[in-house]
Structure 1
Amino acid sequence: MTRRLSHRLRAAATAAMVVAALAACVAIPSHGPVAEGVVKINEPAPVTLLGYSPEQDATPVEIVQGFLNASAAGLSRETTADVATNFSVAREYLSGEVRTTWNPNEQVVVYPTASSPEVTELTESQVQVRVGVAARIDDRGIYEEGAPGSQQSLVFDLVRDSGGQWRISRLDNGVVLSEPNFGLVFRTATVYFLSADSSYLVPETRWFPVRNLATSLVRALIDGPSPWLRDAVRTAVPDGVRLDKLAVPVDEDGTAVVALSGAALGDTEERRLMLAQLEATLDVAQVNAVEVVAGGVPLAWEPADLTRGSLTSESALEVVQGDTLMTFRHGELEPAQGVGPLTGLDVTSTARNEEGTVRVASGRDSLRRASSGGLGEELAAGEGLTAPSVDRLGWVWTAVAGPDGSVLTAVRADGTRQPVRADWLAGRTVHELRVARDGTRVAVLSTGTDGFELGVAGIVRDRDGAPQQLGEPLSVGATLTSASRVVWVDESTLGVLGKTAAATATTVYLAPLAGQTRPLPALEGIDALAGGKGERLLYVTTSNGDLYVRSGASWARTATGVRAPSFPG
């Protein structure tokens, strides 16, 4: 089966270099025939870092320093499936059995650009390396952002070999990389699984070496989701399936050939679902088409047509003006269709599903239905009631303060109530929660005796789609020290209204599920935010009622006298 995939835009930095290079060579033409522009822009070739063999009579410190460089370089070179035979230059620094048992793929420790490893000779035969930690990436490509001030200490034991040369005899598995080098040899990519009802593609973002990226992605898909997501999703890749050739070659035309074997591939619908997962997962810059072969026979079925996790661009922003719910579209405010006056409640937030068939509004301690007749019956009440979130199956999520921490509740518009178990929230106060568009993941802001946490957890549902419990969370936004609001900016990025230890004021941060948290431009008085489709549809309101949208390197005011901005979700 061969199917064309959509191309992604190049990174802005690469585009800037191309523009600069063109400007240095030629002037912009003012006349001449019309010519066809560039149809395809290939991703730059992988960068190869340089590592060198040990020098004669090198000291223990020099051996360790040389090993750090050589092991970093090993990530940018072609590697084999046999962990004991790759990183050949780095292994020249090792002695005895550790030369074959050292596993460089177990972990990557990324240290900040502004710091360098601190190498100390503890004894004649022992060297310590201390590094700051910007991030850690495990052998599955799962990214963990380092908290401010995080450090890691690595100890290397050395012995002299038969030629009197120092070599490393004991060390931890893994590799140490600077942030710039990490950005050169690793790429972020998304592995797609299925929602429990097989209607949505659910993303899990991971990091892989640039070389053999397609192979890494398919292996990750075959291995299955990470523990935090495992109980909330399914996959159409059968147990026992493996790569037939241990690799996914990509030819000069950008066609990736995925050869599978080892298990029956199920019925036709399951095959179509698996093909959809493979196509979405291999939607990376260097792959233009995917050909899937099972048992030497090409799979001719069309992939299932599944929905991705970001909102559509047609989804409109809504705000509250006075007691009226308003739709903001094309720079204009107009009353929202199908919703009467929101009188009788000091509305602080509203929520709806994408179809607009489920609508709710909440105040400080009351959550009520909203319809053409205005506010309807109360769905939830209590101290510490959080702003509601409506999932795609029509469940309205909120949390209420209790004696042993906040209690998560999902309720349908007909009043059906479902408590949602989340053991990791015991004793914690939930300040905000937001369900992703796929209905499979939820972002939760909470505080407890151990401080603030932003976590994203998988939602486990029963056969009828009713939420039952949350899995253990994936920690996100490690540099944040507090936050009050969270939204989904896209399928793998959160927008958070919060602070870091180094910040003097609250502002909006982008917190990728697998990446570094970064602040957006400061704006005084932000009290709420709403996320649409991407960063450019991120809106905020201020305490004086102004509505702003992301614009260029700043914010642009687009309306006044409004509050409670919201997109579906």
Structure 2
Amino acid sequence: MDARRRRRVRGGLALGGAGLLLAGCASMPDRGEVRKVSATQGVDSQVRVFGVPPAPNAGPAEIVGGFLEAMTSDDPRLSTARQYLTDEAAKAWKPSSGITVLASGRDLTPDKREKDKDDEAPRFKLSGKKVATVDERNAYHPDTGGVPYEKYLQLVKNKENQWRIASLPDGLVLGESDFQRIFMPVNKYYFASGTLVADPVYVRQRTDPDSRMDRMTQTLTSLLAGPSAWLDPVVTSGFPAGTALREGTTSLAYDGQNTLRVPLNDKADDVAEPQCQRMATQVMYTVHDLTSSRVGRVELVGEDGKTLCGLDEGVAATIANRVPIPDHQYFVDGHKLMRITLPRDPEQQSSPVAVPVSGPLSTAAQLKVGTAAVAHEEKRAAVVSEDGHHLYVVSLTTAGPLPGPALTSRVRGGLSAPTWDGHGDLWVADRDEQQPALWRIPSGVGAPQKVEVTGLGGRIESLRISSDGVRLALLVSKDGARKELLIGRVERSGDPADAGRVTVRGLRPGAPTMADVTAMSWAPRGRLLVVGRESGGVMQARYIQADGSMAAGSLPGATGLLQIAASEDERQPVVAYSADDNIVWLPPGAQWRTVSASGSAPVYPG
């Protein structure tokens, strides 16, 4: 095997005394017929890739193929990849300007028209099916249009009479397997209406070859640069404009007391203590998923090296203003709303006991409950009658008569299951084919407000609002049968004359790889738990990032699930309705088990 072709190394494993595991070799002919090749091969996430410099007198096909392979490497500054470019192109190429992700690798073919025209200036077409792009702020944008990706790489001979690439697309072009190997999803956090909101982005799993930053430094750099363009209209950052890590910072780590010290430039030097603590809270939550043990304290350090402020997890949790951890799960059984007390010990295996909820629902025999939602504080419930005509908001803590309907649909089955956000607002869709609408009831007691959904193009079948009130997940039917998951941004009016009005904008696909979605729920760390199937595939339940990218991991035995609910407390079990087993639980690290042999419509508060 040519030693120059040894380029993939599995970190942490040893082979004899060399300390390296060589994972294959390959070569590309530089003469004869050039055939279509796939430049990307599947590689597991533990493999480290190092580029191979161009061979002397390498042919055009070997140059472009070698460049695409070197593009996936961990070489500092991607120096090996730049060796395949002319001096001018190497200086102009900006790999950090964005990423294009292609399904099933990148296809490379000679542009025969161009080659026949001028053998001295060969050109190759780089093509594939575009899955997504990642922008300069690390935000992921799924592509569902099915438009083929086509770009060209033009070659010339340099002054040493060697073939080099003179023009190429900017940024990185990666196959999906390489993208998943190299990059990882993380959340950075901003504030909306006083509540911390997750903003998912992608950073390199290891040191970025261009900036030389480790992944924690990459993530905090992205945090300081500001929210993604999609989330920006509805969130704010505690950091003053222009705040950045102190110049030259490429690595950050917490000390033996689990304290992370973050050096900032002078833009943050004059902030007041309350603002500084909001900034530190953003950092605390942003780094939680990046460390093997939890960071217990964050300290922000000014340009002069003095500590600006510091806080521990307890103070950060108060400032973050997240929804309370639920005490109960709920479901409908025998047209009654039932409650299950959650175990304080997540390992507890005793069979839970379901009891009817208190308040007017316990005595209102005339009301047959079809679906329900419980407010996050667990003092109120919104229930839709079995016939789908009426929505009621009732107390769970005080007795009394059943109040009148808060909203009524003209048609049977018109009202969807309701959902509460963390601000106490209630949301529901009317599926009346003649007058479909999305409704919001401020604080659960105000007059219903019809909410405009920009660019909907279908009818809302079901919905779930995120606890922070910023994202709305919608199951939308566009052809009468298939349901598509869309995620919209909830924008609240800043006009005093229109106080309290909201609009849903920026709809984007929530599960672009799924051909049909059956059910969904918000899950820990701003993700969605989605039940659906890919085209030609079987039913599955998967975690999906709020940006539409697929998160690692799926739930076992999901083929019979029709409804699902997850808590934002990841220590609590997933609860679902199965056509075979009725109400079932999936505790962390365990298997599904039946908790009620009858019932449907399971929900957590929200």
User: In which range does the TM-score fall when normalised by the shorter chain?
Assistant: 0.7 to 0.9
**Is the aligned partner of 1:437 residue 2:434?**
no
Q: Match for 1:109: what amino acid?
A: T
Paired residue secondary structure (2:316): coil
Give unmatched runs, 5+ long, in structure 2.
Answer: 1-9, 14-44, 116-121, 208-212, 344-351
**Is the aligned partner of 1:204 residue 2:199?**
yes
Structure 2 residue aligned with 1:109 = 100
Q: Which of 203, 218, 223 matches 2:220? A: 218
Structure-1 separation of matches of 2:483 and 2:52: 45
Structure 2 residue aligned with 1:249 = 251
Structure 2 residue aligned with 1:69 = 69
Give yes or no for contact 1:319–1:565 (8 Å, CA) kept in 2: yes
Q: Which of 109, 128, 139 matches 1:120? A: 109
Structure-2 separation of matches of 1:130 and 1:105: 20
TM-score for both structures, normalised by structure 2 = 0.76
Q: What whole-Å deviation, never above 9, does each CA across 1:92-115 have from its counterpart, x for those lacking one?
A: 111253221211122323455xx4
Give yes or no for contact 1:342–1:370 (8 Å, CA) kept in 2: no
Q: How does 1:95-494 map to 2 (within 5 A)?
A: 95-111=86-102, 115-123=104-112, 124=115, 125-133=122-130, 135-145=132-142, 152-196=149-193, 198=194, 200-209=195-204, 210-211=206-207, 212=213, 213-250=215-252, 253=255, 255-262=260-267, 265-283=270-288, 284-285=290-291, 288=295, 290-296=298-304, 297-302=306-311, 305-306=316-317, 314-329=326-341, 331-338=352-359, 339-341=361-363, 343-363=365-385, 364-371=388-395, 372-373=399-400, 375-382=402-409, 383=411, 384-401=414-431, 406-411=436-441, 412-425=443-456, 427-448=457-478, 452-462=483-493, 466=500, 468-494=502-528
Q: Per-residue deviation at 1:520?
A: 3.2
Q: What whole-Å deviation, never above 9, does each CA across 1:262-321 have from its counterpart, x for those lacking one?
A: 366433211111111122223321784644222313213537534668765543111122
Structure 1 residues 185 and 510: CA distance shift in structure 2, 3 A: closer
More deviation, 167-176/519-528:
519-528
**Is the aligned partner of 1:94 residue 2:118?**
no
More deviation, 520-529/185-194:
520-529
**Is the aligned partner of 1:501 residue 2:528?**
no
Q: Per-residue deviation at 1:204?
A: 1.0
Q: Per-residue deviation at 1:172?
A: 0.8
Structure-2 separation of matches of 1:416 and 1:135: 41
Structure-2 separation of matches of 1:223 and 1:535: 32
Q: Which of 524, 527, 531 matches 2:566? A: 531
Structure 1 residues 420 and 104: CA distance shift in structure 2, 3 A: same
Structure 1 residues 221 and 405: CA distance shift in structure 2, 3 A: farther
Q: Match for 1:541: what amino acid?
A: Y
Paired residue secondary structure (1:169): strand
TM-score for both structures, normalised by structure 1 = 0.81
Q: What whole-Å deviation, never above 9, does each CA across 1:51-106 have from its counterpart, x for those lacking one?
A: 02211111111111110121211xx344xxxxxxx322211111253221211122
Q: Which of 581, 584, 598 matches 1:561? A: 598
Paired residue secondary structure (1:471): strand
Structure 1 residues 241 and 111: CA distance shift in structure 2, 3 A: same
Structure 2 residue aligned with 1:82 = none
Paired residue secondary structure (1:558): strand
Q: Per-residue deviation at 1:460?
A: 2.3
Structure-2 separation of matches of 1:262 and 1:46: 39
Structure-1 separation of matches of 2:152 and 2:440: 50
Paired residue secondary structure (1:337): coil
Structure 1 residues 388 and 133: CA distance shift in structure 2, 3 A: same
Structure-2 separation of matches of 1:206 and 1:540: 29
Give yes or no for contact 1:351–1:360 (8 Å, CA) kept in 2: yes
Structure 1 residues 178 and 309: CA distance shift in structure 2, 3 A: farther
Structure 1 residues 525 and 403: CA distance shift in structure 2, 3 A: closer
Give yes or no for contact 2:105–2:174 (8 Å, CA) kept in 1: no
Structure-1 separation of matches of 2:277 and 2:254: 27
Give unmatched runs, 5+ long, in structure 1.
Answer: 1-13, 18-44, 79-85
Give yes or no for contact 1:158–1:170 (8 Å, CA) kept in 2: yes
Q: What whole-Å deviation, never above 9, does each CA across 1:487-532 have from its counterpart, x for those lacking one?
A: 112132212233321225x443322225326653345553322222
More deviation, 142-151/492-501:
142-151
Q: Per-residue deviation at 1:566?
A: 1.0
Q: Match for 1:511: what amino acid?
A: I
Q: Match for 1:222: what amino acid?
A: L
Identity of aligned residues (%): 24
Paired residue secondary structure (2:65): helix
Q: Match for 1:62: what amino acid?
A: E
Q: Match for 2:451: what amino acid?
A: V
Give yes or no for contact 1:418–1:466 (8 Å, CA) kept in 2: no
Paired residue secondary structure (1:472): strand
Give yes or no for contact 2:268–2:302 (8 Å, CA) kept in 1: no
Paired residue secondary structure (1:235): coil
Q: What whole-Å deviation, never above 9, does each CA across 1:304-339 have from its counterpart, x for those lacking one?
A: 534668765543111122132211235211222334
Paired residue secondary structure (2:309): coil
Q: How does 1:40-51 map to 2 (within 5 A)?
A: 48-51=48-51
CA RMSD of aligned residues (A): 3.3
Structure 1 residues 546 and 117: CA distance shift in structure 2, 3 A: same
Paired residue secondary structure (2:362): coil
Q: What whole-Å deviation, never above 9, does each CA across 1:39-62 have from its counterpart, x for those lacking one?
A: xxxxxx996421022111111111
Give yes or no for contact 1:189–1:207 (8 Å, CA) kept in 2: yes
Q: Per-residue deviation at 1:178?
A: 4.3
Structure 1 residues 378 and 354: CA distance shift in structure 2, 3 A: same
Q: Match for 2:235: what amino acid?
A: V
Q: Match for 2:109: what amino acid?
A: T
Structure 2 residue aligned with 1:511 = 544
Q: Per-residue deviation at 1:148?
A: 10
Q: Match for 1:295: what amino acid?
A: E
